[in-house]
Amino acid sequence: MKRRSLLSITLASVLGIGSVLAYQSDAFASKLSDLQNQKKNVESKSSTIKSDINEKDQGIKEIQGKQNTLENELASLDIKIATTDEQIQEKQQQIKEAQQAIDKLKTEISVLKKRIEERNQLLDQRARAIQTNGGSSVNFLDVILGSDSFADLLDRMSAVTTLVNADKQIIEEQKKDQAELEKKQADVEKKLKTLEEMQAKLQSMKIEMNQQKARKNQIMKELGKQKKQLENDKLSLEEEQSILAAQKSAIEKAIKLEKDRIAEQERLAKQRQRQRQRQQQSQHSYSGGGSSSGTPPVSSGSFMRPAQGYISSEFGNRSFDADGFHSGIDIAKGGTVPIVAAGDGVVTRSYFSSSYGNAIFITHSVNGQIYTTVYAHMSSRLVGDSTPVHKGQIIGYMGSTGQAYGQHLHFEFYVGPWTASHSNAVNPRNYISF
């Protein structure tokens, strides 16, 4: 059985202790003192549980705060990653444009190289002419002596000057073109390198941000698990607190009932008579369909077998239980099988549980000792909360509601008040002959 359902049943099994005591004939003072002590214990437990619930609430709030912070950080990271992607695309476009510029420059370089080559050829021609003239491109003495007149001399000198200046211009343009070529290459290569470095840096930033996002997502996942566990713990505590509140109410009612014990005896006698009539009517109504089993014979002693059938699972260790321990006995039988109260007592809770299905808890008082019996997986329940029952009275019918495999009755037996460790859950065979 799951912890929360087991918690509900075992706690609820203590409800109505005073109602049982109200129609017993033990010493008045002793019973009233026991009830008052039980009330104090319940109030103490309720106070402890309330403190635990507040602690769980605080833990849930702290985790929620961390989750909100992480969600904001993740949203900020998403924005940064998107911005970085845009910057990367921008740099990629700039790199593409730089590459295009390089391609264009290659064309310009090709033109410059051709121009430089043509100038080199011209300079080679000049060099050969110098070699032919004995190391000088122009023999000034020949220019002067070969002149026919002063005007012809001026013309010859002007031509020489033009040739010399042309050679100088070719050399200067050569140097300028080479320098321009080298500068363009250096500028474009520097720009391309800068863009590639920026792109690499942005890529690195994106990887780091994605890693941060992954780490934060993992933390968010762990916080979600912790929060879920705290919420489950809180839910169990709230259920326990609710049952304790019902227990306190039942005990307070029991104190009053104990004081009115004599009048209650008369009321109970009349109520038992009416319930016997309902039992007869119920037996009659269930006899119409399918095979029907009778009630087990009422045995001597304080307790009796709660239903006909065979024992399908004993009390004790069991491998397929969540905690490896079966805290009761399973009685199985086909057809319509009535379930009876194992002893005189008061129904402390009659309800439907997702795990136990239709379940009833009865509290008994025998010679000043409190006992609690639990009946689970019933197909139907015939008695409600705070209803006094007598030994052998039909309280419901066997079924397979809740988490059950096949029709059977799951029957538990407790001695004394319930404890969280279920240390006082005992083998029913210790008290009942099966």
What is the DSSP track for 356-377?
TEEEEEEEEEETTEEEEEEEEE
Q: Is pLDDT of 360 > 60?
A: yes
Across 134-151, average pLDDT: 60
By C-alpha distance, which of 357, 359, 361 is closest to 404?
A: 357
Rounded Cα distance between 27 and 416, Å, is 19
Lowest mean pLDDT among 98-107, 135-144, 342-351: 135-144
What is the rounded CA–CA span in Å between residue 333 and residue 145? 148
Average pLDDT rounded to a whole number, residues 143-150: 65
Cα atoms found within 13 Å of the Cα of residue 388, Cβ hemisphere only: 22
CA–CA separation, 386 and 121 (whole Å): 122
Tokens representing 114?
A: 């051709």
**Residue where the block lists tokens 């039980």:** 38
281 or 359, greater pLDDT: 359
422 DSSP assignment: -
Residues contacting residue 153 through CB under 8 Å, at least 6 positions apart: 143, 144, 147
Residue 215 has pLDDT above 80, yes or no: yes
| CA distance linking residue 349 with residue 430, whole number of Å | 24
Task: State the average pLDDT over residues 314-334.
Answer: 84
- Between 20 and 125, where is the model more confident? 125
Q: pLDDT grade, residue 14 (50/70/90)?
A: very low
Give the span between the Cα atoms of 163 and 122, in whole angstroms: 12
Of the ranges 31-35, 155-159, 389-393, which is most confident? 389-393
Provide the pairing of β-strand 388-389 with 345-353. antiparallel
The mean per-residue pLDDT over the stretch 380-390 comes to 95
The predicted structure's pLDDT at residue 280: 64
pLDDT at 12: 42
| pTM recorded for the entire structure | 0.40
The residue with tokens 């300028």 is: 176
pLDDT above 70: percentage of residues in the chain? 75
Q: What's the pLDDT at 90?
A: 86
Tell me: pLDDT of 251 over 70: yes
Residue 325 near residue 382 (C-beta atoms within 8 A): no
Say how far apart CA 78 and CA 356 lie, in whole Å. 48
Q: Which of 344, 274, 374, 251 is nearest to 25 (CA)?
A: 344
Query: pLDDT class for 285, splitting at 50, 70, 90?
Result: low
Kind and range of the H or E run holding 408: strand 408-415
Which range among 133-137, 281-285, 371-375, 409-413 shows the weakest confidence by mean pLDDT? Answer: 133-137
Task: Say if residues 323 and 279 touch (Cβ distance below 8 Å).
Answer: no
Q: 432: which DSSP letter?
A: S
